[in-house]
A and B are shown apart, each in its own frame.
Chain A
Amino acid sequence: MLPKLRISGVLLILGLIVEALSLLWNNAFSFMSFVVIGGFLFASGMLLFLYSLVSSKTSAFDN
């Protein structure tokens, strides 16, 4: 589970960096960067995190 968490975190950080950069300009290119690149990184990071929760034998919420 831990490597998945790390990869998920890195993807989310990259998504947030893309979001921050896209907000520096106000044009169609920055909007598309946010939607396409940022959206892909966000979705991947979150889905990987959710997958890590359900795929782990000892789920993050077992205790």
Chain B
Amino acid sequence: MIGPQTLVFLLIGASILLILVVVIRPSITASRQGKIIAFLALFIVPLVAAGVGASEHMERSEQTQFCLSCHIMEPYGRSLYVDDKAYIPAAHFQNHRIPADKACYTCHTDYAMFGTIHAKMEGLHHVYVYWFGTPMNPIRLYQPYNNRECLHCHSGARSFEESPTHTAMMGDLKSNKISCATGGCHDTFHNVDQLGHVKFWKPTE
């Protein structure tokens, strides 16, 4: 089975071969067919190859491995292995309540209209600041964490809906008046400044 990456490489290879035909023998553009080949080789096919490549890169940028490739994110990656279920990201990651290979993206994207585009633009901003600017220290969210991102999965789940605590404040939770993250209930997150004092979980191979 040919994977998406192999397809991209095949497309790039075919595109390079087509361009080489025009580069080595530009005189073919004298004929009508040659002009069509040149237009395909130098415009349409590279445009498609670049588009497919960009799409592949955007897909990969959702992966945990991608987010943790910046040195500054290393402690956040380690915090996913804290052996304490009070740590919300660690508990979600270790128990596969979120896809482990897209852990950062799953919780830090916006589940709203154009949320994916918004998340990608913020991601581009992060990369820009990391390479060309000065990242904030300590890292903070741009905006307070929205309950919408928690409710995207938890809303409708039996364990969430039947919890008396949740039921009592369901309206306020859904309207974001009480924050899941800072309302005093689930407020232990990455806490990277505490990582020197915690126990870590070692996954078995």
Contacts and interface: CB of A to CB of B under 8 A. Distances in A.
A and B co-occur in one complex: yes
A5 B50 contact: no
A54 interface: no
Contact of B32 (A23, A28, A50, A63): A63
A38 B50 contact: yes
Contact of A5 (B12, B42, B53): B42
Contacts of A26: 60, 63, 65-66, 69
What bracket does the count of chain B residues touching chain A fall in? Answer: 35 or more
Contacts of A61: 35
Nearest to B8: A23
Contact of A9 (B12, B27, B41, B47): B41
Given A5-B26, A5-B29, A16 B16 contact: yes
Contact of A28 (B5, B27, B70): B70
Interface residues of A, number: 34
Given A5-B42, A9-B22, A31-B57, A15 B50 contact: yes
B59 to A, nearest CB: 10
A30 B66 CA distance: 10
A16 B15 contact: yes
A2 B57 contact: no
Contacts of B9: 20, 23
B200 interface: no
Contacts of B43: 46, 49-50
A45 B42 contact: yes
Nearest to B41: A9
Interface of B: 5, 8-9, 12, 15-16, 19-20, 22-23, 26-27, 29, 32, 35, 38-39, 41-43, 46-47, 49-50, 53-54, 56-57, 60-61, 63, 65-66, 69-70, 127, 130-131
19 contacts: A5-B22, A5-B29, A8-B42, A10-B23, A12-B15, A13-B16, A13-B23, A15-B50, A16-B19, A17-B16, A19-B53, A23-B57, A26-B60, A27-B65, A27-B69, A28-B66, A34-B53, A50-B43, A60-B38
Interface of A: 1-2, 5-6, 8-10, 12-13, 15-17, 19-20, 22-23, 26-32, 34-35, 38, 42, 45-46, 49-50, 60-61, 63
